[in-house]
Amino acid sequence: MKKIFLFLVVASLATFMFSCSKTGSLSTSGSSATGNGGNGSNGSPTGGSGGQAKSTFVSEWFSVQFEPASDPFTSGMVAEIATSPQVNSVFGTDVKLVYARHAGREFIYDMLPVIVQKKNIEISMTANFTSKALVLTITNSGGATTMSDATLFDGYHYRYLSVPLSVYKSLSIDWTNYEQVAIALNFPI
């Protein structure tokens, strides 16, 4: 009984430590997906070297809280999300993609960077990866110098993918089309 209790305490502590992020919320569990080569093959992992297969990392969908940028050269609002250790370990070698999902009659998916229209305002949404985080930025690209209403993006959710370069190059798909990407890499939409 004591061993089970100790195991539960350690597991709870580990879950708490590894699920916390700087701002916003993100499940770092993610999932691994494998490309099927774009040709209907058996779906086995592709890429890697020395006989070791590398797989694509797919984060869970997450929402963020945008805050005014602290950088004096950024006139928009930002959200910084800690990325998965699996993604951090391949920083600079894999292709990183970020998609935004927002509700309409059906879900609408956009690959970042993208310019969207909200209340007659043109807003640029961008994503940049550092070695340990994903930084999302929204700026008013329609002339005003500041972006002050982040509530326009309250219904948005985001997902990032880390795709091995060999898989990215081998698939002949439209990477801006989220549904095609999900089917090609064999993960649920």
CA distance 71 to 17: 28
> What's the whole-number mean pLDDT along residues 45-64?
65
pLDDT digits (tens, 9 = 90+) for 75-134: 688 999 998 887 877 777 899 999 999 877 788 999 999 998 887 778 889 999 988 899
Q: Evaluate if residue 31 carries a pLDDT over 60.
A: no
Q: Look at residue 48 in the predicted model and tell me its pLDDT.
A: 35
Q: Evaluate if residue 56 carries a pLDDT over 80.
A: yes
- The DSSP letter of residue 23 is S
Torsion of CA 37, 42, 46, 51, to 10 degrees: -140
Between 105 and 137, the more confident residue is 137
Helix (H, G, I), strand (E, B) or coil at 85: helix
Q: Look at residue 181 in the predicted model and tell me its pLDDT.
A: 96
CA distance 38 to 68: 41
| Residue among 144, 138, 141, 110 nearest 126 (CA) | 138
120 is written with which tokens?
């007659």
**In contact, 99 and 164? CB cutoff 8 Å:** no
| pLDDT class of 51 with cuts at 50, 70, 90 | very low
Q: Look at residue 148 in the predicted model and tell me its pLDDT.
A: 64
User: What pTM does this model have?
Assistant: 0.69
Q: Look at residue 20 in the predicted model and tell me its pLDDT.
A: 38
Q: Look at residue 146 in the predicted model and tell me its pLDDT.
A: 59
User: Where is average pLDDT lowest: 9-13, 62-66, 87-91?
Assistant: 9-13
End-to-end CA distance of the chain: 42
